[in-house]
Chains A and B, each alone.
Chain A
Amino acid sequence: MRHGRYPFIVGFLIAPVTIYVTFVIAPYIQAFYLALTNWRGVSANPKFIGLDNFERLLTDDTFWKAVRHHGVLLLVLPLVAIAIALVFAFLLNVGGGSKGGAMRGVWGSRFYRIVFFFPQVLAVVIIAVIFRRVYAPDETGLVNGLLGVVGIDPIPIMADKNIALFAIIAVLVWQAVGFYVVLFSAGMASVPKDIYEAAVLDGAGRSSMFFKVTLPLLWDTLQVAWVYLGIAAFDAFAIVNVLSIEQGGPDGATTVLGMEIYRNAFSYSQFGYASAMGVALFFLTITFAALTLRVSRRETIEL
């Protein structure tokens, strides 16, 4: 077994490590350097300008708009998606009461789970394309068509500064809920049956079952969901790029950092500045992750 061990190890690692370092690690490292240059376009020579790009970021309105939008996304998306998913997961798994000591879901659980999860396998872009029509500003759109049926005049959903961002968040929630229903269901399935049995014996109703049994035992899974949705809140590029008008509009009302990075890099050829935004996004993400881990650290219940 000793024979040929190192050639084997090297042989197996060389291709994956080379590809990975070339296309992932090297760009990440370069990004930090590029952020300190004024590189504009492939042919030009980059010049080192220190922290100028970051100074410019501080006074860039669009940048701050994007950061604020990430804040809104970070607040609304996880809260709404997790709340809806938790309630549904509870209904689908233990909402049907107990039979023979085993908790079960309401009638049709399997069907609901399949339907709810489906948007998860669709590309965000394709969903955005569909919702471009669903949100169409006249009555040919699904939402305004429905409003027309009840006699409300069409609303220019994506053109209204106050509505557009929330319309986008609604689509993200629409897609996400099913995933978390399945995730929480898996978590609930791993809660030992006797705990529910004991709760039923003690006369727990469904709401106290939910708040006093299911929720605390699901803490770890909730934390994972929070982190996932938080990371999603720092992305949102694909949907903003396709669904919003003028890619982040109207007037920057829906823009996100990914959108601005893409625009600065590929429309304005401001490679240095776009990289600086990338670095800012990186630090925002890391801060979020660190804060989440700190805040949510709590004694887990040993089963």
Chain B
Amino acid sequence: MARIDAPAPPRREGLPPRGHSGPAGERRREIGLLNSLAHVGLALWAIIIIAPLLWMFLASFKSNTEMYLGNPFSLPSSINLDSYVRAWNEAHVGRYFLNSVFVVALSTAGTMLFGSMAAYVLARYKFIGNRIIYYLFVSGLAFPVFLALVPLFLIVNNMGLLNTFTGLILVYIAYSLPFTVFFLAAFFKTLPNSVAEAAVMDGASHTRLFFQVMMPMARPALVSITIFNIIGQWNQYLLPVALMQGEGAQEKWVLTQGIANISVQAGYEADWAAMFAAVTLSILPMIIMYAFFQRQIQAGLTAGAVK
């Protein structure tokens, strides 16, 4: 608690150690109190964050009788995995999950490929129309998606892509491009010219220069923005509910859509355990990813704001 008054160790700059004579004792008490308050506040918020998630996780193992009649805070009487089986098979969470994996894998790959190609050309080549195209991309950041919703639905419908993975993937890519291009163009601008010139001297073509020299150099930015896009597209809700609807669409629903539907459809007789199991299943990949890439994820998601 008395950290602030600990004698400063000798430092490189050779500043004299700071003395806290005078009101030091009083201040120490004040800081002790503030410190405890700080800890109470922080711990409280940590509990508020964890409690709903943990509560749901524990409840996913309960039987339905326990859920309705038991104390909501009791632990499950046994670790019962039935609910997970029901969620995966009967509630089709398995299918939604695999659909999400498929769509996000392809759309993130597509976003990164097209996004970095466009960003690279716009950042490092001078040509007529460069600025116009760049601002065309960046302007996409300023418009709310709701404005485009109806016409987008009609365009996708006219192309015969409603309720298809192809349509959804193309739309995901399109709506991820503005931020991806904006962010990567800024990064490509900072890469040194000397390396590129050396590669050209050695006879590398434009395409080889991009794939074999520039892309590897841009790795840190590519990692951040890939994580950003994976999380954003995995969590997308508005676009799938607008574009994957109508008869027979349920086969192709993504996870967010599927689980929201289970939850909204559930009446009073609902199988809450299975629903909690479904939610846990959908969160699990995020928890695992977060455990491994916590630092990169924080950097990736805040990347846009820090710029």
Chains A and B form a bound pair: yes
| Closest residue of A by beta carbon distance from B122 | A13
Contact, CB under 8 Å: A17 / B55:
no
Q: What separation, in Å, do the CA atoms of A2 and B254 have in the docked complex?
A: 46
- Chain B residues, CB < 8 A from A100: 8-9, 11
The reply to whether the CB of B56 lies closer than 8 angstroms to some CB of chain A is yes
A275-293 vs B, CB cutoff 8 Å, 1 = contact: the mask equals 1011101100110010000
Given the known interface contacts A9-B125, A289-B142, the answer about A26 and B177 at a Cβ–Cβ threshold of 8 Å is: no
The reply to whether the CB of A56 lies closer than 8 angstroms to some CB of chain B is no
Contact among A31, A106, A177 for B147, CB-based, below 8 A: A31
- Count of CB-CB pairs between chains A and B under 8 Å: 281
Interface residues of B in 124-151 (CB under 8 A from A): 125, 127, 133, 136-137, 140, 142-144, 146-151
B241-277 vs A, CB cutoff 8 Å, 1 = contact: the mask equals 1100100000000001101100110000000100110
- Chain B residues, CB < 8 A from A225: 305
The reply to whether the CB of B165 lies closer than 8 angstroms to some CB of chain A is no
Contact, CB under 8 Å: B72 / A140:
yes
- Chain A residues, CB < 8 A from B102: none
The reply to whether the CB of A248 lies closer than 8 angstroms to some CB of chain B is no
Contact, CB under 8 Å: A237 / B146:
yes
Contact, CB under 8 Å: A278 / B256:
no
Nearest chain A CB to B238's CB is how many angstroms away? 6
- Chain B residues, CB < 8 A from A129: 259-260, 263, 275, 279
The reply to whether the CB of A114 lies closer than 8 angstroms to some CB of chain B is yes
Nearest chain B CB to A292's CB is how many angstroms away? 13
| Closest residue of A by beta carbon distance from B50 | A115
The reply to whether the CB of B98 lies closer than 8 angstroms to some CB of chain A is no
Contact among A24, A112, A124, A282 for B175, CB-based, below 8 A: A24
- Chain A residues, CB < 8 A from B75: none
- Chain B residues, CB < 8 A from A97: 3-4, 31
The reply to whether the CB of A63 lies closer than 8 angstroms to some CB of chain B is no
| Closest residue of B by beta carbon distance from A141 | B72
A116-149 vs B, CB cutoff 8 Å, 1 = contact: the mask equals 1111111111101111111000011110010001
| Closest residue of A by beta carbon distance from B30 | A205
Contact, CB under 8 Å: B125 / A126:
no
Nearest chain A CB to B151's CB is how many angstroms away? 4
Contact, CB under 8 Å: A6 / B127:
yes
| Closest residue of B by beta carbon distance from A225 | B305
A84-101 vs B, CB cutoff 8 Å, 1 = contact: the mask equals 100110011001111111
Given the known interface contacts A116-B45, A121-B290, A126-B283, the answer about A281 and B38 at a Cβ–Cβ threshold of 8 Å is: no
- Nearest 6 Cβ contacts at the A-B interface: A123-B235, A97-B4, A23-B174, A27-B148, A27-B151, A30-B151
The reply to whether the CB of A48 lies closer than 8 angstroms to some CB of chain B is no
Nearest chain B CB to A94's CB is how many angstroms away? 11
| Closest residue of B by beta carbon distance from A265 | B150
Interface residues of B in 289-303 (CB under 8 A from A): 289-290, 294, 297-298, 301-302
B213-255 vs A, CB cutoff 8 Å, 1 = contact: the mask equals 0000000000000000001001111100110010000000000
- Chain A residues, CB < 8 A from B144: 234-235, 278, 281-282, 285
Contact, CB under 8 Å: B148 / A24:
yes
- Chain B residues, CB < 8 A from A9: 121, 125, 127
- Chain B residues, CB < 8 A from A98: 3-4
The reply to whether the CB of B6 lies closer than 8 angstroms to some CB of chain A is yes
Contact, CB under 8 Å: B151 / A26:
yes
Contact among A20, A281, A282 for B140, CB-based, below 8 A: A20
Q: What separation, in Å, do the CA atoms of A8 and B206 have in the docked complex?
A: 7
Q: What separation, in Å, do the CA atoms of A91 and B48 have in the docked complex?
A: 18
Contact, CB under 8 Å: A130 / B51:
no
Q: What separation, in Å, do the CA atoms of A101 and B264 have in the docked complex?
A: 55
| Closest residue of B by beta carbon distance from A178 | B49
Contact, CB under 8 Å: B41 / A87:
yes
- Which of B77-85, B152-160, B186-194 participates in binding chain A? B152-160
